[in-house]
Amino acid sequence: MNSETSGIPDVVDLLRDAVRAGASDVHLCGGISPSMRVRGEIVPCSDRILNRRECRELILGILTDSQRARLERDLELDFGLQVEGTGRFRGNAHYSRGALEAAFRHIPEGIPQIMDLGHRPSVVGLCEMPRGLVLVTGMTGSGKTTTLAAMIRRISETRQSVIVTIEDPIEFYFPSGRSIIKQRELGSDTKSFHEALRHVLRQDPDVIMVGEMRDPETVRAALTAAETGHLVLATLHTNDAPQALDRIIDNFPGDEQEQILGQLANALTAVVAQRLVPSEDGLSRVMVSELLFNNSAVAACIRDRRFEQIVGLMEIGRKDGMHTIDDSLEELYLTGRISKEEAVAGCRDAARMEALRRAPQKA
């Protein structure tokens, strides 16, 4: 298709323009202009309104024959797209009211250091753990994948390990460091997360990264791998640490939950929960985080499903490196990185945030 003569914008050009504008995501939907997310806000990236047929042609035009076949079979498709001179994108093609649409997430070319993302040193320490389950949680667009990539980078640079990643799709390409890294992609290298996990223990891994724990089979396999002496890094879509624990257990029917609670209490090492909120100057987004370490008190709460006590245990555990969302928001507000409105909007204890006062600025 000749986009210049038809007036239809070219997908590659749209993605390049979006990156130049500082966008994190691009959306193609019939009946509206192509749009992008810039610092959390949705704005048009073209004046041209796409009809449903044009939108479908644009999306199918960037897919391979095998990807089109998978999309036709499954009605949804996750895929990677490399744009020369711009970088890599994670794409998702899907149907909405019978029309084909797509969303693209820009993946920075360089893998950042953990501390550069806004994490505390305790998160760096998790990369030194020999075994256990580390969960990175947050809603879509909160930077979970980037945090996982930074952790894999750190492990690869500091440890002699075999690292196996299971991703849908592969987003960051990891360079060789001191470790051997095997990146496996759903659809081309393996059929599913739980199938890959079922076989991974025969691949001599030290570290296993699971792109997403989507179903009970994947959760069960990840827990087993962590219990048998491997460091397992995985993501979940939840807002905070207590919700992450609840979400894992809710994957299972009632008669299995007691067993899973016991496994989770034994296997869990830590939960890193994160969000991105607008900076005070509105020019960027800032990470807000929460960190839960598993200790004897936390493990007892998990076994008895007393998740409502987890926040209190994080507060007690500050001396051991734990912190809550409210701790993070308070620090960011007091250092002038976010506004009080953002701190109050995102906290558990609004009275605590309202009582905060910044020190006067020196002339």
Average pLDDT along the chain: 93
The pLDDT-based confidence of 54 (bands split at 50, 70, 90) is very high
In whole angstroms, give the CA distance from residue 273 to residue 143: 10
For residue range 312-331, list pLDDT tens digits in order.
999 999 999 999 999 999 99
- For the residues 45-63, what does the mean pLDDT come to? 93
Fold of 115-323: Rossmann fold (3.40.50)
pLDDT tens-digit series, residues 79-126: 999 998 888 999 999 999 999 999 999 988 789 999 999 999 999 999
The answer to whether the bond into 169 is cis (omega within 30° of 0) is yes
Which pLDDT score is estimated for 214?
A: 87
Q: At residue 308, does pLDDT exceed 60? A: yes
Contact 55, 101 (CB under 8 A): yes
- What whole-number distance in Å separates Cα of residue 180 and Cα of residue 175? 9
pLDDT at 1: 39
* Residue range 3-107 in CATH 3.40.50.360: no
Check: CB of residue 321 under 8 Å from CB of residue 257: no
Between 87 and 128, name the one with better pLDDT: 128
Question: What whole-number distance in Å separates Cα of residue 65 and Cα of residue 61?
Answer: 10
Q: What's the rounded Cα separation, in Å, for the pair 335 and 278?
A: 14
Where are the CATH 3.40.50.300 domain residues in the chain?
115-323
Give the global pTM.
0.85
Q: What confidence score (pLDDT) does residue 6 get?
A: 54
For the chain, where do the domains classified as CATH 3.30.450.90 start and end?
Answer: 3-107
Which DSSP state fits 25? E
Q: Whole-angstrom Cα distance, residue 64 to residue 229?
A: 39
Q: Provide the pLDDT for residue 296.
A: 98
Q: Residue 252 has what DSSP assignment?
A: S
Would you state the pLDDT for residue 359?
81
Q: How confident is the model at residue 313, as a pLDDT?
A: 98
Which residues lie across from 270 on neighbouring strands? 134, 293
Of 111-120, 192-201, 244-253, 259-268, minimum mean pLDDT range: 192-201
Query: Does the pLDDT at position 360 exceed 80?
Result: no
Helix, strand, or coil (residue 130) = coil
Look at residue 118 in the predicted model and tell me its pLDDT: 96
State mean pLDDT over 190-209.
93
Q: How far apart are CA 323 and CA 333, in angstroms?
A: 15
Q: What percent of the chain has pLDDT over 90?
A: 85
How distant is the alpha carbon of residue 88 from its chain centre? 16
Tell me what the mean pLDDT of segment 234-239 comes to. 95
The predicted model gives 51-74 an average pLDDT of 95
Residue 4's pLDDT is 42
Q: Which segments of the chain are extended strands (E)? A: 23-28, 35-38, 41-44, 76-83, 87-96, 99-107, 132-137, 162-167, 180-185, 207-210, 231-236, 268-278, 285-293
274: left (phi over 0), alpha (psi -120 to 50) or beta: beta
User: If you count them, how many residues does the chain have?
Assistant: 363
> In which band, very low, low, confident or very high, does the pLDDT at 361 lie, cut at 50, 70 and 90?
low
